[in-house]
């Protein structure tokens, strides 16, 4: 097990993990029209939805009330009209559904006797990783869209972070945390049906190629807000430094996103930079940041499947988060054209999950609202 005494900067990661877990376990009582597979064990492949349907002239059909279940949260998009969501049953089970926003049809994919903590959709949208747990021991289950089990295994952890490889979605990195925030990292290979321990320098990593991960290199016992962004090769190629001072980073479609902010909070501005393969700069632009006790707040964001359109929440001015009350703009930014447009101007800073086309976004701490980019309307997923 790799052990690490986390610096102040990691506080924001821990707060985010705890907050995410809290809203995953909350919910409101709801119902859906459920269509079961012909085989209760889901051995039959389900019919694929015809792609290309548009919301322009269609209403989003909310998930209907069900007194026997509590809606927990939505978990993202299977395609441009179908989402994934988790409910908790009064029979002490957790259930996972696909749901078509245009037809109102729900389909049961998975049921667990343990609470479903998260359900992560693979980059190709054909597999789902499910983390179920009621204690320090969790269960990882991978299913296909017919509900067929592809992998299942137990793992001791207080919290898990899962990173699908977008270049080969048979590969996943799993970082498992203890209650003291020590961590172990594993490589899950679905093709080989194997889970093996690997020694990563840090638990928070992102893929930038089939073989290459990136991570921030934090100095031991060093209090810092920024750190170098380095590469890590699973095949043993030498590590290299991609950026010297990075506050936050992410993998966005075909791009690596880095967010830089000066050590002095008086600057109040961050710089969002997009690069291909971690080296070829595509674009960058400044963004006002809000400060809090651990540094700066980076508002929520998402993108289209290829990363060419970046949708992000932006504060209207610099300032302190506790005193800020001006709302956030939802901006649609075209990476290659370096053009932007404001879609919504009065939103809260809450999580986003956008459809592959970027035409619709789930929004809210339970992803319980639907944003229509074309009509600028907000629909409630839960009535």
Sheet of 295-297: strands edge to edge? 295-297, 290-292, 319-320
CA separation for the pair 296, 341 (Å, rounded): 24
Q: Is the pLDDT of residue 83 over 60?
A: yes
- Looking at residue 16, its pLDDT comes to 39
3-state DSSP of the chain: CECCCCCHHHHHHHHHHHHHHHHHCCCEEECCEEECCCCCCCCCCCCCCCCCCCCCCCCCCCCCCCCCEEEEEEEEECCCCEEEEEEEECCCCEEEEEEECCCCEEEEEEEECCCEEEEEECCCCCEEEEEEECCCEEEEEEEECCCCEEEEEEEECCEEEEEECCCCCCEEEEEEECCCCCEEEEEEECCCCEEEEECCCCCCCEECCCCEEEEECCCCCCCCCCEEEEEEECCCCCCCEEEEEECEEEEECCEEEEEEECCCCCCCEEEEEEEECCCEEEEEEEEECEEECCEEECCCEEECCCCCEEEEEEECCCEEHHHCCCCEEEEEEECCCCEEEEEEEEECCCCEEECCCCCEEEECCCCCEEEECCCCEEEECCC
Q: Is the pLDDT of residue 9 over 60?
A: no
Q: Is the pLDDT of residue 284 over 80?
A: yes
Per the CB < 8 A criterion, the answer to whether 208 and 253 are in contact is: no
Question: What phi and psi values does residue 231 have, to the nearest 5 degrees?
Answer: -95, 155
Q: Is the pLDDT of residue 4 over 90?
A: no
pLDDT band at 50 (very low <50, low <70, confident <90, very high): very low
Q: Is the pLDDT of residue 369 over 80?
A: yes
Q: Is the pLDDT of residue 358 over 60?
A: yes
Q: Across residues 264-288, what is the average pLDDT? A: 85
- Looking at residue 310, its pLDDT comes to 97
Q: Across residues 122-151, what is the average pLDDT? A: 95
- Looking at residue 62, its pLDDT comes to 95
Residue that the structure tokens 């998930």 belong to? 63
pLDDT band at 94 (very low <50, low <70, confident <90, very high): very high
CA separation for the pair 331, 216 (Å, rounded): 27
- Looking at residue 66, its pLDDT comes to 80
Q: Is the pLDDT of residue 97 over 80?
A: yes
Of 92, 77, 95, the closest CA to residue 36 belongs to 95
In the chain, the N- to C-terminal Cα span, in Å, equals 46
Q: Is the pLDDT of residue 280 over 70?
A: yes
Q: Across residues 199-221, what is the average pLDDT? A: 92
- Looking at residue 79, its pLDDT comes to 97
Q: Is the pLDDT of residue 48 over 80?
A: no
Percent of the chain with pLDDT strictly greater than 90: 71
Of 314, 363, 304, the closest CA to residue 334 belongs to 304
Judged by average pLDDT, the poorest of 6-10, 190-194, 285-289 is 6-10
CA separation for the pair 201, 215 (Å, rounded): 8
- Looking at residue 277, its pLDDT comes to 75
Judged by average pLDDT, the poorest of 151-155, 220-224, 237-241, 300-304 is 220-224
Q: Is the pLDDT of residue 34 over 80?
A: no
Q: What is the mean pLDDT of the chain?
A: 85
Q: Is the pLDDT of residue 32 over 70?
A: no
pLDDT band at 351 (very low <50, low <70, confident <90, very high): very high
Report the 10 Å Cβ neighbour count for 345: 12
pLDDT in tens, 307-341: 999 999 999 999 999 999 999 999 999 999 999 99
Q: Which two tokens stand for residue 197?
A: 């321990």
CA separation for the pair 301, 248 (Å, rounded): 13
CA distances for 36 relative to 96, 97, 146, 149, 189, angstroms: 12, 10, 10, 16, 30
Contacts of 339 (CB under 8 A, 6+ apart): 333
**Buried-exposed string 164-190: b where 16+ CB fall within 10 A, e elsewhere:** bbbebbbbbbbbbbeeebbbbbbbbeb
Q: Across residues 39-49, what is the average pLDDT? A: 32
Q: Which residue has the higher pLDDT, 220 or 380?
A: 380
Judged by average pLDDT, the poorest of 18-27, 212-221, 263-272, 278-287 is 18-27
Q: Is the pLDDT of residue 239 over 50?
A: yes
- Looking at residue 264, its pLDDT comes to 54
Q: Is the pLDDT of residue 245 over 60?
A: yes
Indicate the pairing of strand 33-35 with strand 105-112: parallel
Q: Is the pLDDT of residue 111 over 90?
A: yes
Q: Across residues 152-164, what is the average pLDDT? A: 94
> Whole-model pTM?
0.85
CA separation for the pair 296, 294 (Å, rounded): 7
């Amino acid at each position: 097990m790799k052990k690490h005494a986390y610096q102040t900067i990691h506080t924001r990661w821990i707060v985010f993990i705890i907050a995410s877990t809290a809203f995953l376990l909350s919910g409101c009582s709801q119902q859906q029209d459920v269509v079961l597979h012909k085989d209760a064990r889901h051995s039959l492949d389900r019919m694929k939805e015809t792609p290309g349907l548009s919301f322009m002239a269609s209403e989003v059909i909310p998930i209907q009330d069900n007194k026997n279940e509590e809606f927990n949260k939505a978990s993202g998009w299977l395609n441009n009209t179908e989402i994934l969501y988790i409910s908790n049953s009064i029979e002490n089970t957790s259930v996972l559904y696909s749901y078509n926003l245009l037809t109102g049809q729900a389909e049961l994919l998975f049921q667990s006797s343990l609470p479903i903590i998260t359900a992560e959709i693979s980059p190709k949208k054909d597999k789902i990783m499910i983390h179920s747990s009621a204690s320090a021991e969790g269960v990882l289950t991978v299913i296909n869209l017919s509900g067929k089990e592809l992998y299942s295994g137990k793992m001791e952890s207080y919290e898990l972070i899962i990173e699908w490889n977008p270049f080969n979605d048979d590969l996943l990195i799993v970082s498992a945390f203890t209650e003291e925030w020590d961590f172990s990292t594993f490589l899950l290979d679905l093709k080989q049906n194997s889970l093996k321990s690997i020694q990563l320098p840090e638990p928070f990593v992102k893929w930038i190629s089939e073989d290459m991960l990136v991570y921030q290199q934090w100095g031991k016992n060093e209090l810092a807000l920024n750190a170098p962004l380095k590469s890590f090769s699973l095949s043993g190629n030498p590590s290299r430094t991609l950026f010297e001072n990075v506050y936050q980073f992410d993998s966005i479609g075909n791009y690596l996103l880095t967010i830089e902010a000066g050590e002095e909070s008086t600057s109040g501005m961050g710089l969002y930079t997009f690069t291909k393969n971690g080296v070829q700069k595509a674009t960058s632009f400044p963004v006002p940041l809000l400060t809090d006790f651990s540094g700066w707040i980076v508002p929520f964001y998402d993108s289209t499947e290829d990363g060419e359109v970046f949708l992000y929440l932006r504060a209207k001015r610099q300032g302190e988060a506790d005193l800020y009350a001006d709302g956030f703009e939802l901006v649609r930014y075209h990476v290659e054209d370096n053009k932007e447009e404001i879609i919504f101007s009065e939103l809260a800073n809450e999580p986003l999950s956008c459809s592959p086309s970027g035409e619709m976004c789930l929004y809210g701490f339970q992803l319980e609202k639907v944003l229509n980019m074309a009509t600028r309307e907000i629909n409630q997923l839960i009535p």
